[in-house]
Amino acid sequence: MAVLITSPVAQPFGDPVPAGRAAEIVRGAQRMLAELGLASLTEVTLANGRRADVMAMGPKGDIVIIEVKSCLQDFATDQKWPEYAPYCDRFYFAVDCDFPKERLPEACGMMVCDGFGGAILRESDAAPLNAARRKAVTLSFARLAAARLMRAGEAGASPAEPAID
């Protein structure tokens, strides 16, 4: 299933990111993930049609999805995040320092991020993927990263991107 992903802002290597406050949270989350040894992509479409704000893979193949919430209204109106669970081992919300953190579900991980980095305030409960799903997600993640890297610097519209299986 191929889904076209468009975004108002793209990083130099073709990885789309949102604009404004959410972009700062995404940037900080990605910097923190890199410091922890995880490689990340933004705006990742999953096989169920949902779009993960940030998806990351660790050195041992662990898969993390991060849902960015830039304000309480964003959190209150978007309740699709439980549908990300079948595609990750751990799930986190990333918010800025002003977000009312007590409103986030206890079972989910929580990180606070700004444009420069972030900190995990609460670890996520681990829910390991089964082997077949892990293989499918890992291969899809790698293909998506390679496709974005290949398109880096190309002018014009981006072709449809594969969804994460």
Give the chain's mean pLDDT.
86
Q: Which of 28-37, 75-84, 149-158 has the lowest mean pLDDT?
A: 149-158
Cα–Cα dist 38/60, whole Å:
9
* Residue-level pLDDT at 49: 93
Q: Tell me which CATH code domain 11-149 carries.
A: 3.40.1350
Confidence of residue 20 (pLDDT cuts 50, 70, 90): confident
Digit-coded pLDDT (tens) for 81-139: 999 999 999 999 999 999 999 999 998 999 999 999 999 999 998 999 999 999 999 99
* Residue-level pLDDT at 144: 94
* Residue-level pLDDT at 19: 67
- Domains in the chain: boundaries: 11-149
Confidence of residue 158 (pLDDT cuts 50, 70, 90): low
* Residue-level pLDDT at 78: 86
- DSSP letter for each residue of the chain: -EE----SEE-TTS-EE--THHHHHHHHHHHHHHHTT-EEEEEEEBTTS-EEEEEEE-TTS-EEEEEE-SSHHHHHH---GGGGGGG-SEEEEEE-TTS-GGGS-TTSEEEEEETTEEEEEEPPPP-PPPHHHHHHHHHHHHHHHHHHHHHTT--SPPPPEEPB-
Q: Which of 4-13, 101-110, 124-133, 143-152 has the lowest mean pLDDT?
A: 4-13
